[in-house]
Structure 1
Amino acid sequence: MKPYQNVPIIESSEPLVDIPTEFAFFQPHMYSLLGAPYADKSPFSLRSGVLQRLIKAQAYLQLQCPNWKIKIFDAYRPIAVQKFMVEHERSQLAKAKSWDLNQLSSQQEQELIAEVLNFWAIPSEDPATPPPHSTGAAIDITLVDHNQTAVNMGSPIDEISPRSIPDYFAAIDTPAAQQAHANRELLFACMHQAGFERHPNEWWHFSYGDQLWAWLRSQNNTLAKNTENSAINAMYGRYE
């Protein structure tokens, strides 16, 4: 278990709703293109309360950078999709290491799983420990400028490497690295002022109301009330 999975969950009963077209989107959706089993569910959806905060984040962004937009890579993820993607990443990582998935040693298997789960949540079916994306509370995003051109973030979304750590470029003294760090900080500022928390290992992953959010808020000593230590994971189960 990860530390945040000990946080108790309170059902909010918020509906899962589509993210509106005022945002930019990665099209086609990358996981759907791989064959991830979404069935009739949309990966571009969030809990209604989370969406309202995302709208607030984009409004703040556009005050700083007129006509820039938040670009949505991925949002809601059924448990079946989480399982599919964890296995896909395991397979891709083994391929990158030139390892045969059918002939892995126990040490190699442990290494693969450790690397994948450093960035991907365990696809748990236990209602007490859901993956953040499966609660409608988490979203993977980047920024595009006024020309709808991708902003330099230094590394792509979902890259399993140290470059994904939010502050990776902070101490690298080159113009490109400093620009990437500044852009990551802008994204963080927009999301944080709207109430989101950022994944410690992923510059692109933000959430509001899930267990990771509650744990990070508690770690940062920013919760005003003890009751807010509980995650608000709306729609877990109903949308699986």
Structure 2
Amino acid sequence: MTVLPDTVLLSDERITAIPAIENGEPLVDLFTRGLSTVGQQFARESVADRLAVADTFLPAGIRLHVVEGLRPVESQQEIYDRYRAELERLHPGISDRDVHVLASRFVSPIEVAPHVAGAAVDLTLIGAHGPLDLGTPIDATPEQSDGACFFPAPNITREARTNRTLLADVLTAAGLVNYPTEWWHWSYGDRYWAFTEHQPSALYGPSARVDSCRL
């Protein structure tokens, strides 16, 4: 069962114990911040502003490309349940606790899910000729990619490593944090951000109202 050494997962009680004190920040359409997106994608205003800043840090001809931002609760639960069922098939007899931990490498448990709060985006880099090589497709599971979806994975090309470093440089400079089991997943204001940045609480919670957006 592959888990990155020393990586704190979203299922860890150090994450789940962090309170989320909802600050009521609105959700905004990322396209209105000049970002390249797949369809209409939403995120909290501060997330959107930081992504827009990060986009300006990139070399000429390269852009951030957001594949997914805000995610409905029902979709989050469906993704979690589907992946958990896949893991149970791959590991017959696995305990509830262990399968929950393994599942959290790839999809957040609903109670702490940053996408549901509008605090996270899945994104990549694009150039004049389309997506850049970042080692795996977005949403490649650890099993499908042999762990190459993990940000520091050694089994990717030098070009992919260079592109991941560029992605991390601009997003980190703009104040976002990466979930290290998914190179494409970056967030601000959620519990994982609070843990990484040594903040006492998250700014947004999964219970945040999302009815101000038309999905």
Give TM-score scaled by structure 2 length. Answer: 0.80
- Residue 93 of structure 1: how far off its partner (Å): 5.2
Higher helix share: 1
Give the match for residue 11 of structure 1: 22
- Residue 84 of structure 1: how far off its partner (Å): 1.0
Give the match for residue 198 of structure 1: 178
Give matches, 1:132-171, under 5 Å: 132-147=114-129, 149-161=130-142, 162-169=147-154
Give matches, 1:100-119, under 5 Å: 105-107=92-94, 113-119=100-106
Q: How much is the aligned-residue C-alpha RMSD, in angstroms?
A: 2.5
Give the counterpart letter for 2:50 in structure 1: R
- Residue 136 of structure 1: how far off its partner (Å): 0.8
Task: Indicate the percent of aligned positions where both proteins have the same amino acid.
Answer: 28
Q: Distance in 1 between matches of 2:136 and 2:162?
A: 13
1:89 and 2:83 matched:
yes
Contact map agreement 1:135 1:235 (CA 8 A) in 2: yes
CA 1:135–1:151: 2 relative to 1, 3 Å: same
Give matches, 1:1-240, under 5 Å: 1-2=11-12, 3-20=14-31, 22-26=34-38, 44-61=41-58, 65-92=59-86, 97=90, 105-107=92-94, 113-124=100-111, 130-147=112-129, 149-161=130-142, 162-169=147-154, 177-218=157-198, 228-233=199-204, 236-239=207-210
CA 1:231–1:109: 2 relative to 1, 3 Å: closer
Contact map agreement 2:21 2:201 (CA 8 A) in 1: yes
Q: Distance in 2 between matches of 1:107 and 1:93?
A: 9
SS in 1 for 2:94: helix
CA 1:132–1:235: 2 relative to 1, 3 Å: closer
- Residue 87 of structure 1: how far off its partner (Å): 2.0
Q: Distance in 2 between matches of 1:136 and 1:112?
A: 26
Pair member with larger Rg: 1
SS in 2 for 1:139: strand
Contact map agreement 1:154 1:163 (CA 8 A) in 2: yes
Contact map agreement 1:12 1:234 (CA 8 A) in 2: no
SS in 1 for 2:169: helix
SS in 2 for 1:107: coil
CA 1:20–1:26: 2 relative to 1, 3 Å: closer
Give TM-score scaled by structure 1 length. Answer: 0.72
What is the count of residue pairs matched by the alignment? 195
Give the counterpart letter for 2:182 in structure 1: E
Q: Distance in 1 between matches of 2:30 and 2:128?
A: 20
SS in 2 for 1:238: coil
Contact map agreement 1:5 1:212 (CA 8 A) in 2: no
Query: Residue by residue, what CA displacement relative to the aligned partner does 1:175-223 show, whole Å, maximum 9, x if unpaired?
Result: x7111111001000110000001112111111111110010112xxxxx
SS in 1 for 2:148: helix
Contact map agreement 1:19 1:46 (CA 8 A) in 2: yes
| Contiguous gaps of at least 5 residues in structure 1 | 28-41, 98-103, 125-129, 219-227
- Residue 229 of structure 1: how far off its partner (Å): 2.6
SS in 2 for 1:134: coil
- Residue 48 of structure 1: how far off its partner (Å): 0.9
SS in 2 for 1:71: strand
| Contiguous gaps of at least 5 residues in structure 2 | 1-10
